[in-house]
Amino acid sequence: MGRIALVSEHASPLTAPGQLGAGSQNAYVAALSAALCGLGHEVVVYTRRTAPRAPNRVRTQAGYEVVNVHSGPSRKLAEDESTARVTDFARFLSADWTTKRPDVVHAQGWLSGITAVLGARNRQVPVVQTFHTLGAAHRGLAVERLLGQEVARVVATHSDEADDVLRMGICGSKVSVIPHGVDLKLFTPHGAIAPRERTRRIVTVGQLVPHQGFDDLIRSLSTVEDTELVIAGGSVNGRLRGDPEARRLRTLARARGVADRVTFTGPLRQSELPALLRSADVVACTPRYESLGVNAIEAMACGVPVVVTAVGGLVDAVVDEQTGVRVPPQDPRAIAEALRALLRNTTRRKSLGAAGQERIRARYSWDRVAAELVRVYADVIRPSPDANRAREPWA
């Protein structure tokens, strides 16, 4: 058994999908921690306290422990505020690891990476880094470049991200590609199916932000007849009413004459998603840039055919014309053509759905993701400076 620390500064695994503030990183940390525990490892997740009454430590049903670190005000902080609190967070980690030193630290996001490196430095603990999203837009990748040089290994969640890391000058031997996983017990072809009113249904899932490309789907819908589009997901503030992106999308749907065929569900609990995905003839995932592709692999696990844009993790997950259909980003015409072709061909939809499900079961289970990460951890672990401490082999 190994002792693994996950540092996830802004994304607590206790924040369930569908709740305000929940995102793909929250789900990633929760599922990965549970899977690592399932393999027999001791896992502690360190996250920043965002609620005044949150307990200091929480033992989850999955077996991992969550430590809510006092680092600034007990509320959600802006990025610059969180950055200013890095030293406080790192000091807590260093102190906590004095008595219970982990074998390895896995940092989630660049800010968690800085915190983990500072906290682990005096404890001689190797740090593995997953960026999740690279910050070229507002940090010029300078922070990520320095962090990549400092850590023992960088784990990219898809090939495009790995290429970006290599372009930063990080040695290729330090970079591994291990994807986001999917809960294969929850996302299956069998189970409840959400009701629908129209003959054909397209489903898309994600937070209401412009880069998700929901507007491209709405534009494409005007040439896809007798088909409804269900957009599942919440806005940044957790509400649809008054949200500027929701308002923009509704205005576009009216202008395109498809407002009666576009439905917004708002945020859904994770347990509600499979039934909605199974109700679709096609699930569309059309972001304009960098995406983990989580919702596409969840749909594929349910045996539903997917149309995706060729960006980020979607390129790895979807083999074009074999396990789904890939189209260029920001191209409503190409999206519409792909949707029309699939909707009129039941046999092809079934074939793609079956092949997609097989691919996800073979490559994207959390057990496999966790096992691959454990091999990375084993590669970077060095002997403890405490000669009196018993250490069980990882391999």
* In contact, 284 and 203? CB cutoff 8 Å: yes
Give pLDDT, residue 16: 59
Give pLDDT, residue 391: 47
Q: pLDDT per residue over 125-170, tens digit each?
A: 999 999 988 864 445 578 899 999 999 999 999 999 999 999 999 9
Give pLDDT, residue 387: 41
Residue 112 has pLDDT above 50, yes or no: yes
Give pLDDT, residue 135: 64
The enclosing H or E element of 51 equals none
Compare 134 and 240 and report the one with higher pLDDT.
Answer: 134
Q: What is the mean pLDDT of residues 91-108?
A: 95
Q: What is the mean pLDDT of residues 80-98?
A: 88
Give pLDDT, residue 362: 96
Give pLDDT, residue 388: 44
Residue 75 has pLDDT above 80, yes or no: no
Q: What is the mean pLDDT of residues 351-376?
A: 97
Q: How many CB atoms lie within 10 A of CB 59?
A: 10
Percent of the chain with pLDDT over 90: 76
Residue 393 has pLDDT above 80, yes or no: no
Give pLDDT, residue 141: 72
Q: How many CB atoms lie within 10 A of CB 198?
A: 12
Give pLDDT, residue 52: 86
Q: Does pTM top 0.75 for this prediction? A: yes
User: pLDDT band at residue 310, thresholds of 50, 70 and 90?
Assistant: very high
Give pLDDT, residue 173: 94
Rounded Cα distance, 226 and 125, in Å? 58
Q: Which domains does the chain have, with CATH numbers?
A: 3-181+365-380 (3.40.50.2000), 200-363 (3.40.50.2000)
Q: What is the mean pLDDT of residues 349-373?
A: 97
User: pLDDT band at residue 74, thresholds of 50, 70 and 90?
Assistant: confident
Residue 194 has pLDDT above 80, yes or no: yes
Report helix, strand or coil for 203: strand
Distances (CA, A) of 353 to 52, 205, 235, 257, 356: 46, 18, 29, 30, 5
Name residue, tokens 């090939």. 159
Report helix, strand or coil for 232: strand
Q: What is the mean pLDDT of the chain?
A: 90
Give pLDDT, residue 139: 54
Residues 6+ apart with CB under 8 A from 335: 216, 217, 220, 284, 286, 307, 327
Give pLDDT, residue 325: 98
Give pLDDT, residue 389: 47
Give pLDDT, residue 386: 53
Q: Tell me, what DSSP letter sits at residue 189?
A: S
The enclosing H or E element of 335 equals helix 332-343
Residue 290 has pLDDT above 90, yes or no: no
Percent of the chain with pLDDT over 70: 91
